[in-house]
Amino acid sequence: MRIKDLSMTLAGSTLIVTLAASPALAGGTSLPDPDTAAVSAVHRTALDQGAPGALTRIDEGHRSHHVATGEADTAARTPMDTGRRFRVGSVSKTFTAVVLLQLAAEGRIELDAPANRYLPEPLPDGRITVRHLLSHRSGLYDYTDDMFQQTVPGFEAVRNKVFSYQELIDLSTAHPLNNAPGAAYSYSNTNFVVLGRLIEHTTGTPVATHYQQRIVAPLRLRDTSYVHPRTSLSGSYARGYLRPDDTTLPLVDSTEQTVSWAQSAGAVISSGKDLNRFFTALMSGRLLPAAQLADMTAMVPVSADGKQSYGLGLRGRTLSCGTTVYGHTGTVQGYYTYAFTTRDGARSMTSLANTSNNGTVNAMLGGTLEASFCGSDAAGTRPAGV
Ligand code: REY
């Protein structure tokens, strides 16, 4: 790409860069321009609240905005940059949902059939359907609630562990269901672990191969991989720093782990560029036929104010300017991610903070959505003093 337009600002510890192949080609939506100064302010507040670093990348047509703040590696004092790879946590659920919905389009799985039709070992309630799993309405208990009750000991106990899908499912089914199948939304990693098991059993092919053949290769996602159970990240990446429950203790470097506790619910590694390309492709209809995209984007409100919704492996957020964006959030030890796009996929945004177990940072990082999609129309979302 020949860069026709480049602007760079250094604001405190933040580097803001806007690139455009051609100013004339830059437009894509009727949304207000992203407010990169507000993104940078969100990052700096997240750093004050304990994140070592943060990055946000916004893509729209031939224009991209890059905001990077703080450090990718605190021991080496390496500055953060927007090209770094990281663990995307539950954004992996959207990848798994795409695989599943492609299988539905191919007539190999029916969304409203009992999940047990496709599983080698039955779930305890035969009324749970595939759609219940994809929409977190199965009632299956989230086994990670037990696993990570104590944050650092829980993490260290599974950091190098390799689980089978069935072992994780058994941890869940030792508990009763949270609700009758279909009766309520109850977010649970178990649903997307069952879907991984179901995909592998039905097709005889590992989930990793499906991600590669159905998503990574066609979209040329060069920074995206699923290396379970390998513990390391390759290339240029951000290290992850987990905050202990005793917040007087230092952050724990949690970069290396199998993420076997999450697998098809959370073990994908990617970058801002690739996640933006993925969600743009998804919402512009390049990954799923219209019928399956309609299934995926049939959003049901999941918060009291109706501003948060869930489809099939897809979150919706209605922002202060009235725009609804679609994507997913992710939390794995050391990494908080937001990856969202507009309904037509025209503008996509990914943000990362390289810490976790710090709800204040996670809530603050969500402010990058307002700044990216509502621009200066965002209502009262700037951190104080900005
Ligand atoms: C698991 C615990 C979070 C994270 C989780 N992540 O379910 C899935 C997701 C894949 O939705 C851990 N929290 C943290 C604790 C709390 O240990 N005691 O914040 O790193 O992305």
Best mutation site among 150, 151, 252, 365 for ligand 1 pocket (most ligand atoms within 8 Å of CB)? 151
Best mutation site among 332, 338, 362 for ligand 1 pocket (most ligand atoms within 8 Å of CB)? 332
Among residues 14, 21, 53, the alpha carbon closest in space to that of 36 is found at 14
**How far, in Å, CA of 281 to CA of 31, rounded?**
19
Question: Which protein residue's CA is at the shortest distance from atom 18 of ligand 1?
Answer: 151
Q: Using one digit for the tens of pLDDT, what is the confidence trace for 339-370?
A: 999 999 999 999 999 999 999 999 999 999 99
Residue 21: band (very low, low, confident or very high) from pLDDT cuts 50, 70, 90: confident
The pTM (predicted TM-score) of the whole model is: 0.95
* Percent over 70 (pLDDT), the chain: 94
Residue 212 reports pLDDT greater than 50: yes
Classify residue 52 by its DSSP letter: S
Distance 151 CA to ligand 1 centre (A): 9
Q: Count Cβ atoms within 10 A of the Cβ of residue 380 and give its class: 0-12 exposed, 13-18 middle, 19 or more buried.
A: exposed
CA torsion sign for 94, 289, 309, 195 is: negative
Best mutation site among 92, 357, 361, 365 for ligand 1 pocket (most ligand atoms within 8 Å of CB)? 357
Q: What residues pair up with 317 in beta bridges, in sequence order?
A: 308, 325
**How far, in Å, CA of 138 to CA of 155, rounded?**
26
Per-residue pLDDT at 9 = 74
Ligand 1 atom closest to the Cα of residue 357 is 19
Per-residue pLDDT at 329 = 98
Ligand 1 atom closest to the Cα of residue 266 is 10
Q: Using one digit for the tens of pLDDT, what is the confidence trace for 270-317?
A: 999 999 999 999 999 999 999 999 999 999 999 999 999 999 999 999
Average pLDDT over residues 258-267: 98
Per-residue pLDDT at 322 = 96
**How far, in Å, CA of 338 to CA of 352, rounded?**
7
Write the secondary structure of 128-178 as one string of H (helix), E (strand) and C (coil): CEHHHHHCCCCCCCCCHHHHCCCHHHHHHHHCCCCCCHHHHHHHHHCCCCC
Q: Using one digit for the tens of pLDDT, what is the confidence trace for 82-133?
A: 999 999 999 999 999 999 999 999 999 999 999 999 999 999 999 999 999 9
Q: Using one digit for the tens of pLDDT, what is the confidence trace for 122-175?
A: 999 999 999 999 999 999 999 999 999 999 999 999 999 999 999 999 999 999
Question: Which protein residue's CA is at the shortest distance from atom 6 of ligand 1?
Answer: 331
- Confirm or reject: Cβ of 265 under 6 Å from ligand 1: yes
- H-type helices in 249-320, by residue range? 272-283, 290-296
Q: Which residues are catalytic?
A: 90
Non-local CB neighbours of 338 within 8 Å, separated by 6+ positions: 327, 329, 330, 349, 350, 351, 365, 366, 368, 369
Residue 7 reports pLDDT greater than 80: no
Return the CA Rg of the chain.
20
- Confirm or reject: Cβ of 144 under 6 Å from ligand 1: yes
User: For residues 333-368, b (16+ Cβ closer than 10 Å) or e, as one string?
Assistant: bbbbbbbbbbeebbbbbbbbbbbbbbeebbebbbbb
- CB contact at 8 A, 116 and 123: yes
Per-residue pLDDT at 385 = 44
Question: What are the percentages of helix, strand and coil residues in the chain, rounded to 5?
Answer: 35, 20, 45
- Confirm or reject: Cβ of 240 under 6 Å from ligand 1: no
Give the distance, in angstroms, between the CA of residue 338 and the centroid of all CA atoms in the same chain: 6
- CB contact at 8 A, 70 and 47: yes
**How far, in Å, CA of 311 to CA of 97, rounded?**
10
Q: Within a 10 A sphere around the Cβ of 373, how many other Cβ atoms? A: 28
CA distance to 60, 91, 215, 294, 347, per residue, from 279 (Å):
12, 10, 11, 15, 9
**How far, in Å, CA of 57 to CA of 66, rounded?**
5
Distance 266 CA to ligand 1 centre (A): 10
Mean pLDDT in the chain? Answer: 95
Report phi then psi at 25, rounded to 5.
Answer: -90, -5
- Confirm or reject: Cβ of 331 under 6 Å from ligand 1: yes
- Confirm or reject: Cβ of 313 under 6 Å from ligand 1: no
